[in-house]
Structure 1
Amino acid sequence: MSPDRPVFVTHSADVRKAALPPPDPEALALSQDLSASIAAEIKARGGAIPFRRYMELALYAPGLGYYVAGQQRFGPGGDFVTAPEMGSLFGATLARAVAPLPGSDGVLEFGAGSGALAAQLLAALPPTPYAILEVSPDLAERQRQRLAGLPVRWLSALPACWRGVVLANEVLDAIPPHLVELDQDGVLWELGVALGPEGFVWRHLPASDALQERLAPYLPHWPRPYRSEVNLAAEAWLRDVAEHLECGAILIIDYGHGAAEYYHPQRSMGTLRAYYRQHWLEDPFYLPGLCDLTAHLDFDALQRVAVAAGLQVRSYDPLARFLIVNGLAEVFSAASGSADPLTRMQLANEAKRLTLPQEMGESFKVLILSKESPCKSPSTASKTATP
């Protein structure tokens, strides 16, 4: 998720409080209720919970979490701006890549946010079945309002067998990862969350064998201390989708790196960030429920999982290259040809933000996976649809 002109704010409490806009009373009360709920779970579980559980509650706790509490999240008036909300170029260019992909079930979008990308794809694609699987009831309702009259259906679960395109645009970064830390003595810990005198604090928890094994190649090269993430849950998501995909493609669009860059010794504080009102922070404990929490993806790990699950890696590119290869220049020319000067300037600014290395062009990656092997079961998308 790309904040609109991001501003770095240190985790220093004094600087943070002075620099950030305060929440309104209703939002502050929601955050306080969520904090109390998380604190109660910490106490009930012996004084600490894994950070991944804290992040799950902060984002998805029923009625209180960031994505389910009804606050405005997307666009200039929210906390961040996603690519399809900057304008029409991203969606129109993505449609050119999606159109030739196989599958009679059409497009299944995970976590459709405000519905902006769905609207753009449906406008650019030939008549195509379109489904959305959204875990947030609040966002699903907003999508229904925005997409009213369009041929979209909402699914309550992943279909048993899908023939078509599965799209995850800026979704996997919000799946809670394991947060790990190598301490000064060379001991690897999983980071947890406990209660301190003034709020939530970090706590070292034993790292599992799976985490130890995954990070063993990197540990000797890391400085001490060193902090990073391992997103086993995102990998499990991909395995699950691959199992249910009969034929078609999976498109993952998000910010991330290959493993060598992700776990580079100089990246000693990892990639975890909080987003609040177009600012990004290093402190994930600031106003729980009012901040988006994200971490970059390890795209090498996702590709290994994909191949092991029977998928083929069709392409893996930085966003800029993906858009250029799929006709961004032609889309821009068509959109700006008869536009007024102000619209042309807006389109040019959008193209720059999508492609410049210091914006989204290099930090965002596009991974396309495909599968052609048959599945024994018929498609069951209609059986899991909701109106």
Structure 2
Amino acid sequence: MPDKDHNSQLEELIRQRIRTEGPMPFAEYMGLCLYHPEHGYYMTPRRRIGKQGDFYTSSSVHGMFGRLLTRQLVQAWQLLGSGAMTVAEQGAGEGHLALDILDCLRDEYPDCYAAVDYALVEVGPEHRRRQRELLAAHADRVRWCELDELSGMTGVILSNELVDAFPVHLVEKSDGSLREIHVGVEDDRLVEVVGQPSTGRIQAHIDWLGAGPLEGSRGEVNLAAVDWMRKVAQVLESGLVLTIDYGYPTEELYAPHRRRGTLLCYHRHRSHEDVFAHIGCQDMTSHVDFGALIRAGEEEGLETLWFGEQYRFLMALGFVEELMRLQALETDPVRAQALRLTLKNLILPEGGMGETFKVLVQGKGLGPVELACQRPISAIEIG
């Protein structure tokens, strides 16, 4: 009987690759574990999100997240002239955020809904299948495509917890030299092998940032994230890029106290650091280097409009007002309390998603703008 917590076929494929070609860079190993076409974690049928899965996302906590995000999308539509607009969501998971956004547009902003072309950029066939089922009511507004097919688009490119799952190069600084972690085979087991950097791009990236792992420390270099941001900037003709994820500015990512980096695995809501456990059956992530995304975007013509914690973003878009509205509709005090506790997780600075998660808003072709998400918290009226 196949082990649902470990993909032995994928492990054997990895072993064979190493036996044939030698140790592989950790980034290649991570890519196979997550995205192998037949056996990768994100490519096979499984429950990943929610109570029965391995992790939660902001959109899986409550539909309010999508409703508030919709307000920023509608303002973008207005700033772009209220004409035809594409909303491109990459890495949409099972489609819950897309559903919340499209439901809100249809019910509260019908003119914008009629103008929106919702494009889902999704590599996983199982995710595409689930998205088609979930979004059936919006079939005339939704399509699936590759990022390259959106070249010249006007609108918003949106991602929520996408970049943290890009394969990363794992490196460490020792005796003044940069070394890269590879994956090899020893006594028929997968093991770490420390070797020379597999590509000159790693050192070039660190030089470009002016930051990297300190002496005696380990960290991640996410070349794929920078490549992705450059492509996004090139695809967008005018509009916004909204990137929501957990991460840090560059200097905080490589801070002296973060000696082991940020790489983590998630399996059934338990986080751990064993990258050789549950091969193909666990999520693997690293915190996003938002400084690198900002710099890459600016070099490709994007303007950084706003960057900050998720709780500030949601508060500015009306979290408090929406919570009060929902509570007023709830007559059962027990359910009202449960609602408050659920929604607090979206904005709690400690123990919740509010501070760990950041939001990066970049723009192109908009000129001077004052976005809804830039509303200061001091301007929020309570009561």
Partner of 2:380: none
Match of 2:44 among 46, 59, 69: 69
Residue 53 of structure 1 corresponds to 28
Whether the 8 Å CA contact 1:93–1:327 is kept in 2: the answer is yes
Q: TM-score w.r.t. structure 2 length? A: 0.86
**Cα distance between partner residues in 2 of 1:110 and 1:267:** 29
Q: 1:147: which partner in 2?
A: 135
- Taking the aligned partners of 2:285 and 2:253, their CA distance within structure 1 comes to 15
Distance 1:55 1:255 in 2: 19
What's the counterpart of residue 365 of structure 2? 372
Q: Is the 8 A contact 1:89 1:347 kept in 2?
A: no
State the alpha-carbon separation in 2 of the partners of residues 234 and 188 from structure 1.
20
1:223: how far off?
4.2
Q: Which of 187, 193, 205 does residue 203 from structure 1 map onto?
A: 193
Aligned to 1:241: 232
1:280-299 superposed matches below 5 A: 280-299=271-290
Counterpart in 1 of 2:154? 163
Match of 2:72 in 1: 97
CA distance in 2, matches of 1:342, 1:134: 39
Equivalent of 1:194, from 181, 184, 187?
184
Given residue 27 of structure 1, which amino acid in structure 2 is its aligned partner? K
Kindly report the root-mean-square deviation, in angstroms, between the aligned alpha carbons of the 2 structures: 1.8
2:8 partner letter: Q
Q: With the length of structure 1 as denominator, give the TM-score of the two structures.
A: 0.85
Within the alignment, does 1:357 sit opposite 2:349 as a pair?
Answer: yes
Residues 124-173 of structure 1, C-alpha deviations (whole Å, 9 max, x = no match):
22213211110000111011111112132111443222110100110011
Q: What amino acid does structure 1 have at the position aligned with 2:365?
A: E
- Opposite residue 183 of structure 2, the aligned amino acid is V
- Corresponding position of 1:9: none
1:136 corresponding residue in structure 2: 124
How many residue pairs get aligned? The number is 346
Shift of 1:81: 0.8
Could you say which residue in structure 2 is the equivalent of 1:21?
none
Q: 1:114 and 2:104 equivalent?
A: no
Report if the CA contact (8 A) 1:87-1:347 is conserved.
no
Distance (whole Å) between structure 2 residues aligned to residue 337 and residue 175 of structure 1: 41
Q: Structure 1 residues 343 and 124, CA, compared in 2 at 3 Å: closer, same or farther?
A: farther
Q: Is the 8 A contact 1:62 1:68 kept in 2?
A: yes
Q: Secondary structure at the match of 1:114?
A: coil
2:43–2:126 contact (8 Å) kept in structure 1: yes
Amino acid at match of 2:162: V
Structure 1 residue matching 2:247: 3-state secondary structure: strand
| 1:208-227 C-alpha deviation (Å, 9 max, x unpaired) | 443224435446x8242x10
Q: Does 1:34 align with 2:10?
A: yes
After superposition, residues 251-266 of structure 1 pair within 5 angstroms as 251-266=242-257
Which secondary structure state, in structure 2, belongs to the residue aligned with residue 233 of structure 1?
helix
The superposition leaves residues 158-193 of structure 1 with CA deviations (integer Å, 9 ceiling, x where unpaired) of: 32221101001100111111111112x232111111
Query: Given the alignment, which residue of 333, 339, 347 partners 1:341?
Result: 333
Q: With CA pairs under 8 Å and 6+ residues apart, which has the higher RCO, 1 or 2? A: 1
Question: Quick check: 1:43 aligned with 2:23?
Answer: no
- Residue range with higher mean Cα deviation, 133-142 or 118-127: 118-127
- Structure 1 residue 198, shift from structure 2 partner: 5.2
Q: For the residues of structure 2 that align with 1:74 and 1:212, how far apart are their CA atoms? A: 35
Q: Is the 8 A contact 1:320 1:362 kept in 2?
A: yes
**d(CA) in 1 for partners of 2:317 and 2:366?**
26
Q: Give the share of equivalent positions with the same residue, in percent.
A: 38
> How far did residue 351 of structure 1 move?
2.4
CA–CA distance in structure 1, aligned partners of residues 32 and 9 of structure 2: 12
SS at match of 2:19: helix
2:325 is paired with a residue of what secondary structure? helix
CA contact (8 A) 1:162 1:244 kept: yes
Query: How far apart, in 1, do the equivalents of 2:272 and 2:12 lie?
Result: 22
Gaps of 5+ in 1: 1-23, 375-387
Separation (CA, whole Å) in 2 of partners of 1:106 and 1:330 = 28
User: Structure 1 residues 94 and 285 mapped into 2: Cα distance closer, same or farther (>3 Å)?
Assistant: same
Q: Is the 1:274–1:292 contact (alpha carbons within 8 Å) kept by the matching residues of 2? A: yes
SS at match of 2:329: coil
Distance 1:264 1:32, change over 3 A: same
Instruction: Indicate if the aligned counterparts of 1:336 and 1:343 stay in contact, CA closer than 8 A.
Output: no
Q: Secondary structure at the match of 1:321?
A: helix
